[in-house]
Structure 1
């Protein structure tokens, strides 16, 4: 067993929402639970989740690698995803993204040398009215981002990480 009993209980709760022949429907929730516990999804964890649900491991692997909310590499403490779709771009996300790149010294899909930050370009975050939008670790949405707000955000994340 690669996950805690609490994680298996949460997965069981998700499984209970679907008929026995539709267990695969709980896959995204199950992967999210596993990632919450481990901060990323190793090949072994993905296989464990697939086995527990009763689906082929390749199906779980395909889902885990398709959605950018899942981390299939253990890269960083803080994943920063910025929406650059048209509504956000029209409201300044490209400017904020370039500022983030310069501030962190990395490009999209790269990680800082100290493994503190990974920067991703994301698809629509569904908050176009609050653009530009940044999502931190798939959980905390930051809205109406400016260069000043980015500075504050990065400083806060560094402090929370003990840097």
Structure 2
């Protein structure tokens, strides 16, 4: 079951190539930089999938991570002045989602996903765990199932490792423009 699809046509790319491994959205920028032979000198955590576009197999053991939701009252996008009209108009496609966010809130969550499993951890709310081979449509939450405890706990530790390695990374060099000037 394909959750998302990105269609790419590049010179020398393999026609009909499908990348089965999960990828992060920021992998797109890494891939574009790789295609353009741009040397990016800052610390980054994305992986180029250019080799896969040319037909090489991907990393079948790769795990991707994401986060979203909100922890605090009114920490939600419907209050962004640029989006306010979207969430006020019942005829707008995104109105039901905005109404849900305004009235119920969306609990903060982090996600780890590989070819076999998907973990959604919520500090507040119901966490989720899916065996994607057995349940590709993610219909049965196996978070509390003892059968999956070992793999779930490993994914939780890997998620913690990811946050420690990627959180609050300092720059490799100072900005040559200097520190920002305070507002007047």
Query: TM bucket by the smaller chain?
Result: under 0.3
Higher helix share: 1
Question: What TM-score results when the alignment is normalised by the length of structure 2?
Answer: 0.24
Question: What TM-score results when the alignment is normalised by the length of structure 1?
Answer: 0.26
Max radius of gyration: which structure?
2
